[in-house]
Structure 1
Amino acid sequence: MNASDRTPADLLRSALATDPARPLLTFYDDATGERVELSVATLANWVAKTANLLQDELSAQPGDRVALLLPAHWQTAAWLLACFSAGVVAAPGGEAAAADVVVSGPDTLERALACPGERMALALKPLGARFPQPPQGFADYAVEVPSQGDRFVPYTPVDPHAPALVLPDGTELTGAEVTARALDSARESGFSAGSRVLSALSYDTWEGLAAGLLAPLVAGGSVVLCRHVGELSPEALERRREAERVTHTVM
């Protein structure tokens, strides 16, 4: 983190400038056997493409609310950081009916139909694969995102004091507050440069967002994000910790 970092998007830019090749997020889905490792540069590329999709294709403007009906997943991390980059309000687990845009996984499509605005669906398949057929009423993220630009510049500079995150418990934070709170969480958890945090928490609580993305990012560490980790035996989980050189575990 640099002293000038005021938003979560600033944190990603600083990480990109410091060491773009280092691993930032390693994702496991223990129901499918998927493992994906993203460097800072790779995640930043997904964030840029997704932010361009938000701004240019979905016409999202600063202050618009984006309901993210998604599990803790590497693509969810890209969407969260894209929302912060574009100045829209990320609402993980938020009400679709109150959102300007909804982004849904395959298990929440019916709930997402309540959104009166644009609707995007993610198949959440290994390697970011698309749906065999886009769900009715939705665009398929895997179809729409590849053609987006690799560099993102918001039409309007992001105001660090504007709302940036709304959680299901009603907590509302500005971009500056998200960044400051992430720094506090990193300090409280003992995260530092080189820390490798295994998290099995969802992204619809502050604890899950902090452990699974924001606190390691602000500290210069990395994340091992695990979905369906209950499929693993304690012995298998311990082997993963050793193989991934995990320094902190949050379950």
Structure 2
Amino acid sequence: MTATDRTPADLLRSALAADPARPLVTFYDDATGERVELSVATFANWVAKTANLLQDELSAEPGDRVALLLPAHWQTAVWLLACSSVGVVADVEGDPGRADHVVAGPGRFDAGLACGGERYALSLAPLGRRFVPAPPAGYADYAVDVPSHGDRFAPYAPVDPEAPALIVAGAEFTAAEIVERAKGDAPGLGLTGPGSRILSALPYDTWEGLSAGLYAPLAAGGSVVLCRNLERLGEEALAKRIESERVTAVSR
């Protein structure tokens, strides 16, 4: 993080400039055995492609609301930073009927049909696989459309750090508030700077889950081991993961 970082997208740019090769998000799903590790550079590439999809395919503009009907997952983290890059409001578990667009995962497709705008479906399958043979009715397949978009992103309109950027658990935050709160949360979470690595099993439907699972590690120059279905893992196996992943703090 630098003194000029005012949005989550700024935090990602600073992380990319500082050390693009270091891990940023490591994701486990203990229901499927999936493990995915994304360096800062790889994560930023996914964010750029997704932001270009938002801007060019969905014609999303600053102030638009995108309902994210998704669990804590590495692709959800990508969408959160892509929304920040464009300046749209990421409404986590928001009402799709009030959203301009919706992005939904398994179990949420029926609910997402209430959105009258563009709809994207994520399979959340290992390696971000596409739907076979086709996405749910009423949806485009994110995994099919995102690869063709550019690896660099430039917003058509400047992103205002003081504009609404996130809605979660009924609370609204500007981009600047996300950065300041994440920076303030980091020490209490055990994120003390570069090299800090937090294991988070918290869902993304609260500020606390979003902070521990994405924003605070990004603000601290650290990284996150994001775990889904961690309750399936025994304590001995968890201890081994903490050791092997060089985790320095745990939030669950």
Q: TM-score, normalised by structure 1?
A: 0.98
What is the identity, as a one-letter code, of the residue corresponding to 2:90?
A
Q: State the 1:171 CA deviation.
A: 0.8
In 1, distance between residues paired with 2:98 and 2:195?
39
Q: Sequence identity of aligned pairs in percent? A: 70
In 2, distance between residues paired with 1:158 and 1:176?
11
Please show how residues 121-160 of structure 1 align to structure 2 within 5 Å. Answer: 121-132=121-132, 133-160=134-161
Please show how residues 196-235 of structure 1 align to structure 2 within 5 Å. Answer: 196-235=197-236
Q: State the 1:196 CA deviation.
A: 0.6
SS at 1:145 equivalent: helix
Please show how residues 23-62 of structure 1 align to structure 2 within 5 Å. Answer: 23-62=23-62
In 1, distance between residues paired with 2:230 and 2:131?
24
TM-superposition CA deviations, 1:58-97 (whole Å, max 9, x none):
1111000000000100000000000000000001111111
SS at 1:60 equivalent: coil
User: Counterpart of 1:162?
Assistant: 163
SS at 2:208 equivalent: helix
What is the identity, as a one-letter code, of the residue corresponding to 1:127?
L
In 1, distance between residues paired with 2:209 and 2:156?
30
In 2, distance between residues paired with 1:190 and 1:198?
11
TM-superposition CA deviations, 1:184-233 (whole Å, max 9, x none):
11133231221110000111110000000000000011000000111111
Q: Any unmatched runs of 5+ in structure 1?
A: none
TM-superposition CA deviations, 1:138-182 (whole Å, max 9, x none):
0000001000000000000100010000112x2111100110011
In 2, distance between residues paired with 1:57 and 1:202?
29
Please show how residues 234-249 of structure 1 align to structure 2 within 5 Å. Answer: 234-249=235-250
SS at 2:147 equivalent: coil
Q: State the 1:135 CA deviation.
A: 0.8
Extract structure 1 runs of 4+ deviating beyond 6 A. Answer: none
In 1, distance between residues paired with 2:248 and 2:188?
15
Please show how residues 4-19 of structure 1 align to structure 2 within 5 Å. Answer: 4-19=4-19
In 2, distance between residues paired with 1:216 and 1:13?
14
In 2, distance between residues paired with 1:124 and 1:24?
19
Q: State the 1:4 CA deviation.
A: 0.5
Indicate if the aligned counterparts of 2:189 and 2:251 stay in contact, CA closer than 8 A.
no
What is the identity, as a one-letter code, of the residue corresponding to 1:113?
L
Q: Tell me whether 92-101 or 38-47 shows the greater mean CA deviation.
A: 92-101
What is the identity, as a one-letter code, of the residue corresponding to 1:2?
T
User: Counterpart of 1:79?
Assistant: 79
SS at 1:226 equivalent: strand
In 2, distance between residues paired with 1:98 and 1:202?
23
Figure out how many residues of one structure are paired with residues of the other and give that number: 250
Q: Tell me whether 35-44 or 229-238 shows the greater mean CA deviation.
A: 229-238
Please show how residues 90-109 of structure 1 align to structure 2 within 5 Å. Answer: 90-109=90-109
Q: Any unmatched runs of 5+ in structure 2?
A: none
What is the identity, as a one-letter code, of the residue corresponding to 1:27?
F
In 2, distance between residues paired with 1:107 and 1:240?
29
